[in-house]
Amino acid sequence: MAAVENGMGNSELLGQHAFLADLGIQAHNPGVFGGSAVGGAWSGSGPVITSVSPSNNKPIATVQEGSVQDYEEALNACESAKATWMAVPAPKRGEIVRQIGDALRAKLAQLGRLVSLECGKILPEGIGEVQEFVDICDYAVGLSRMLNGAVLPSERPSHFMMEQWHPLGIVGVISAFNFPNAVLGWNAAIALVTGNLVVWKGAPTTSLITVATTKIIAEVLKRNGLPGAIFTCVCGGAEIGTAMAEDKRINLMSFTGSSHVGQLVQQKVAARFGRCLLELSGNNAIVVMDDADLQLAARATLFAAVGTAGQRCTTCRRLYVQEGAYDALIPQLLKAYKQVRAGDPLEEGTLLGPLHTKDSKTRFLDGIGKIKAQGGKILTGGARIDREGNYVEATIVEIANDAGCVKEELFAPVLYVMKFKTLEEAIELNNSVPQGLSSSIFTTNPETIFKWTGPNGSDCGIVNVNIPTNGAEIGGAFGGEKATGGGREAGSDSWKQYMRRATCTINYSKDLPLAQGIKFE
């Protein structure tokens, strides 16, 4: 639900970023690029916004978003197409998702570059994000032949009891700027094979990725003679998100974003007895024990804290080091930080790209001021980088365990380092924040490992050992507890969130025995 127009003149834009044309974002009329889909048609009658590259704060393109009226047309089209898609056998739906995965694979380099250009993450991460979508498509294809229910023993003679799983209908997906492609994939691939239609609202600041991804999926549906409304995107702001949360036609609302906004979404969805899948904030910790491989811990912490410029929900923000390892680990980490190259995310060798917006850079600087006011000592970084774009230094802060800022999520490459004495203390510190997404411990002691992963260990949804807090695989269920929302996406049995369960009992006799031996004659 958008029309796209370049922000610098057609020839200049296509000359600098020729790969955009390969994604369907190209001039059709003077100054006009592609759009996004309502029932397979491309349009938009909402406000015009500008997509800006965070590496230089220069416009890439202007996007005309969808209006609330456009959204209504989209949902009406979904309602009309719902019965058609739900009636397609699951393995046949898997074949469509396989083709989507292949279409994404064919555009992997181009779409990955667009993620880097518009989102700001470095190119290997941009390509890796699209690869996640490809991988979840492969996973979903296999899942399409394994959506099995259970056969249950009946206490009544000549009765057969089973569980069946059916599509919910329409799944709404609201994704965030930091994973503008992969988070959609986790939801869409599973939602589609389980027989649901998908309505997607990407982040307004990554609208070109929304448009390009939708074009790829729409072409697959068109080639197979299927209604375009099976996958619909509506570019837009808070008014579209509110409409989705309040819409009874959307059976499951998947939201990725802040805990504050996620709570509002949950309230609106619950008020209409809808289902909610929430992937919210993280304030993730790495714990390093005295017996840990410190070189491994340093490498993992670097990626966990600096990757995506600290803008992952699974970014490591707290590093707890046992007293005996502290003086050995921190110098290693500082040395590694000094080797981090900041710069254009599209350039080879860059490890630290820009923050996503100017406001993000302002929040970083405000956060550094707050850290210093609470007694934090800047060991490295702590300032903006003097160049075009939203660049800041990767930062390490030595601070007290009980400092208030440690409990908050500063969405930037800022790592708090703190000491602890015992494993029990480390577990308590890990669990002391409102969020509960990801956690990791570095140790070679089996007893420590099983205490950390046990019921009295980390209270997070992701509990790692000797690997970073980020970089989750699609085969496992992804999500967290507490203020992280409790949702689960991708692997394991996450597919059950996208379906409804029906317990079916069949009497194949001429008698009517009642359960629990009740007589009613």
38 CA to centre of own chain: 23
- For residue 499, what are the β-bridge partners? 167
Distance (Å, whole) CA 480 – CA 218: 32
Per the CB < 8 A criterion, the answer to whether 72 and 38 are in contact is no
Distance (Å, whole) CA 212 – CA 94: 22
Between the CA of residue 419 and those of 185, 305, 394, what are the distances in Å? Answer: 39, 18, 21
Phi, psi of 304 (to 5 degrees): -65, -30
Positive or negative torsion for Cα 304, 310, 313, 316 = positive
Q: Active-site positions?
A: 279
- DSSP letter, residue 65: P
Please name the residues in contact with 349: beta carbons below 8 A apart, sequence gap of 6 or more. 341, 343
Q: What element of type H or E holds 439? A: strand 438-442
Nearest to 402 by CA among 458, 324, 320: 320
Distance (Å, whole) CA 6 – CA 132: 28
CA atoms within 13 A on the CB side of 416: 30
Tokens of 253: 């609302």
Distance (Å, whole) CA 56 – CA 43: 29
Distance (Å, whole) CA 374 – CA 306: 23
Per-position DSSP letters for 112-169, written without gaps between them: HHHHHHHH---HHHHHHHHHHHHHHHHHHHHHTT-----EE--SSTTEEEEEEEEE-S
Tokens of 95: 């074949």
Distance (Å, whole) CA 86 – CA 94: 12
47 CA to centre of own chain: 26
Phi, psi of 245 (to 5 degrees): -65, -35
Q: What element of type H or E holds 266? A: helix 259-271
In the chain, what is the straight-line distance between the N-terminal and C-terminal CA atoms, in Å? 61
As a whole number of Å, the CA-based R_g of the chain is 25
